[in-house]
Chains A and B, each alone.
Chain A
Amino acid sequence: MDEPELRETLRDADIPGAAGARARARRTVLAAHAARPPHTRRRLTPQVLAAAALVIVVASLGATVGPSATAHWVSTTLNLNDRVPTQRAPASLVDLPGGGRLLVNTGDSAWIIGQGPARRIAGITDQVGWSAFGNYLVRVHGKQVQALDTNGRVVWTHRYASTVSFPAWSPDGNRLAFRVGRAIQITAGDGTGSRMLTPRGAQSALRSLPIASSWRPGPRHELAVVDSSRRITLIDADNGELLWRLRAPRDTLSLSWSADGRRLLAVGVHSRRLYGPSGQLLSTRDAAAGTRFTAGQLSPSGRQVALMRTRARAGSGARLDVVLVPAGRPAKSLRLLFAGHDLGDLRFSPTGRWLLVGWHRVDSWLFFATAAGDRRTRLVSAVSRRVGNGEPIVQGWCCSRAQP
């Protein structure tokens, strides 16, 4: 075997799954390119040319003026910092493929991204969430919960004896639920009527696990909670009526409703369960052998499930993949959207036509069209730069009109 033969053989070698990898990478690379800020070429403006000429002239007098004095004189005389144009579009401008606005938590602030320049709402933020129509947000930090408008004006503040977490505004905007210690607290949207959620006839308040509660869309204020006995409890938040109590998947990660309130998805580490309008179990699907789920969400239509998966024994920073599967059907009909390391922030757009995946390793958000046969992918790069160089966590995507 000579060297040309070796070269040719290696270049012809079959790579497992090469065609699929190429197609996925092509979409991602083109999306990354499309997401770049507008190209700018720095032109030599008259001010800069004048400054250069003056620098030469003054530098020739440097023996008497001195270099730092020269720089100061040029700078203050021409006010260069103000006059040199920067044509680059503001980094904060993000055109979200699904429309609407993202609510992003960087720890020291909440950020509203989309539909214009990013808006920062300063203040230590453990978790944050949208109100029903995106006019307000709820922020929790330590033992405090606050409702604010989108300009950052505090509408009301409550403080509790225990740590507050997992705030969730009801779809009609009239109720707010959050976890205080292990109990669930309910208030009206204006902050009045704060009380612990207690099942009717029970002696004590409902105890919950640290999993976000989920309001059922519909005319009543019904809240799905994973209680301390690992059951999914659907309870009327106004009168305490216990509507369902169902077995939850082991190690439940999330609960999500379809927009019509007729389907509830519970995703656990090892399985996902889909429930119908009366709490009947529609399907149970286990994670594929050797894998586990790390996140999952039901689409607003209730027809698709987005899942993030990794190897069963993988540690943090491991490779994950993101798949889209028909709700209630076997995972063999899955559509693999993406695979990579350091993924997170799995979230459907308000219309369900796009799916957001955070790709932290390259500081980007990926957006995938979800319709069958629609292979569009968008990428928003330099995410941390758009939110003041913080570490962004997407905690809400609110309120857009349908976009093609």
Chain B
Amino acid sequence: MRRAQRGDSDAVEELFVAYWPMCHRAAWLITRDATAAEDIAQEAFVAAIAALDRFDRSRRLEPWLRTIVARRAIDHTRARAARREVDEEAFGRVAAPQSGPRGVSDDLVAALGLLSLDRRVVVVLRFVLDMTPREIAGLLDLPVGTVNSRMRRALDELRASAEAHDG
């Protein structure tokens, strides 16, 4: 962080390499929209760079990035649901071509996508962004108990889905 603040582009590259996968992945798992995920993660990084001089150097960039990514991804998903965008995927392919055959994790990712947004968010924040239940509760402005119950139900759903697939 200090090197980045001093203008060292190699340090920014290191920060990007360290945190981009986490941010991009979290945004995608929440939004299920590759183009939106790219925008959200990219805007979070650009916002972080713009605010670099204001960061307390004793703190880490990661918590700030994951908070802004999570908030923007949730906002985007809620706004999209309200707008009922029916043709977004057709346009999205231009910016983010679809990948090839489904991988081994695709069934779980698909099952995650079937969870309600509230449950999906807590799973992504916990297992991709490594936030504690208390941090998730703070971010979502919820009691910790509510976060835990959403997590438990989400995991039950995912396990049931996995068992159905195996069975």
Q: Is B68 part of the contact surface with A, judged by Cβ < 8 Å?
A: no
Q: Is A57 part of the contact surface with B, judged by Cβ < 8 Å?
A: no
Q: How many A-B residue pairs have CB under 8 A?
A: 165
Give the chain A neighbours of B16 by CB distance below 8 A: 25-26, 29-30
Scoring B residues 110 to 146 as 1 if CB is less than 8 Å from chain A, else 0, what string do you get?
Answer: 0010000000000110011000000000000000000
The answer to whether A340 touches B42 (Cβ under 8 A) is: yes
The answer to whether A336 touches B95 (Cβ under 8 A) is: yes
Complex CA gap A3/B90 in Å reads 35
Interface residues on A, range: 35 or more
Complex CA gap A35/B99 in Å reads 33
Give the chain B neighbours of A311 by CB distance below 8 A: 85, 87-88, 90-91
Q: Is B52 part of the contact surface with A, judged by Cβ < 8 Å?
A: yes
Chain B residue with minimal CB distance to A40? Answer: B53
Q: Which 5 A-B pairs have the closest CB atoms?
A: A17-B96, A21-B38, A339-B95, A290-B90, A311-B91
Give the chain A neighbours of B85 by CB distance below 8 A: 311
The answer to whether B162 touches A13 (Cβ under 8 A) is: no
Partner-binding segment picked from A4-12, A298-306, A347-355: A4-12
- Within B76-126, the residues touching A (CB, 8 Å) are 85, 87-88, 90-91, 94-99, 103, 105-106, 108-109, 112, 123-124
Given the known interface contacts A11-B25, A21-B24, the answer about A3 and B37 at a Cβ–Cβ threshold of 8 Å is no
- B38 touches which one: A24, A288, A379 (CB < 8 A)? A24
Q: Is B63 part of the contact surface with A, judged by Cβ < 8 Å?
A: no
Give the chain A neighbours of B29 by CB distance below 8 A: 10, 13
The answer to whether B97 touches A33 (Cβ under 8 A) is: no
Q: Is B18 part of the contact surface with A, judged by Cβ < 8 Å?
A: no
Separation in Å of the A242 CB from the closest CB of chain B?
40
Given the known interface contacts A14-B106, A15-B37, A16-B96, the answer about A32 and B49 at a Cβ–Cβ threshold of 8 Å is yes
Given contact pairs A25-B42, A311-B85, A339-B38, enumerate 9 new A-B contacts (beta carbons under 8 Å): A10-B112, A12-B105, A14-B103, A22-B24, A26-B13, A29-B42, A29-B45, A39-B6, A311-B90
Q: Is A313 part of the contact surface with B, judged by Cβ < 8 Å?
A: yes
Complex CA gap A314/B88 in Å reads 9
- B159 touches which one: A1, A13, A38, A312 (CB < 8 A)? A1
Give the chain B neighbours of A323 by CB distance below 8 A: 94
Complex CA gap A311/B106 in Å reads 28
Given the known interface contacts A1-B158, A33-B9, A39-B7, the answer about A26 and B25 at a Cβ–Cβ threshold of 8 Å is no
Main secondary structure of the interface of B (DSSP, over half): helix
Give the chain A neighbours of B34 by CB distance below 8 A: 15-17, 21
Give the chain A neighbours of B35 by CB distance below 8 A: 319, 339
Given the known interface contacts A289-B90, A340-B42, A341-B39, the answer about A10 and B49 at a Cβ–Cβ threshold of 8 Å is no
Interface residues on B, range: 35 or more
The answer to whether B96 touches A13 (Cβ under 8 A) is: no
The answer to whether B39 touches A14 (Cβ under 8 A) is: no
Complex CA gap A7/B43 in Å reads 25
Separation in Å of the B22 CB from the closest CB of chain A?
8
The answer to whether B105 touches A9 (Cβ under 8 A) is: yes
Give the chain B neighbours of A17 by CB distance below 8 A: 34, 38, 95-99
The answer to whether B99 touches A321 (Cβ under 8 A) is: no
Main secondary structure of the interface of A (DSSP, over half): mixed
Q: Is B164 part of the contact surface with A, judged by Cβ < 8 Å?
A: no
The answer to whether B38 touches A13 (Cβ under 8 A) is: no
Complex CA gap A57/B51 in Å reads 37
Given the known interface contacts A6-B155, A290-B90, A362-B50, the answer about A30 and B9 at a Cβ–Cβ threshold of 8 Å is yes
Complex CA gap A323/B13 in Å reads 25
Complex CA gap A314/B25 in Å reads 26
The answer to whether B38 touches A6 (Cβ under 8 A) is: no
The answer to whether B94 touches A291 (Cβ under 8 A) is: yes
Complex CA gap A33/B45 in Å reads 10
- A32 touches which one: B46, B96, B99 (CB < 8 A)? B46
Separation in Å of the A376 CB from the closest CB of chain B?
13
Give the chain A neighbours of B12 by CB distance below 8 A: 29-30, 33
Q: Is A404 part of the contact surface with B, judged by Cβ < 8 Å?
A: no
- B43 touches which one: A20, A26, A361 (CB < 8 A)? A361
Give the chain B neighbours of A13 by CB distance below 8 A: 25, 29, 103, 105-106, 108-109
- Within A28-81, the residues touching B (CB, 8 Å) are 28-30, 32-34, 36, 38-39
Q: Is A364 part of the contact surface with B, judged by Cβ < 8 Å?
A: yes
Q: Is A187 part of the contact surface with B, judged by Cβ < 8 Å?
A: no
Complex CA gap A36/B4 in Å reads 11
Q: Is B55 part of the contact surface with A, judged by Cβ < 8 Å?
A: no
Complex CA gap A24/B125 in Å reads 25
Q: Is A310 part of the contact surface with B, judged by Cβ < 8 Å?
A: yes
Separation in Å of the B138 CB from the closest CB of chain A?
21
Complex CA gap A22/B27 in Å reads 13
Separation in Å of the A305 CB from the closest CB of chain B?
16
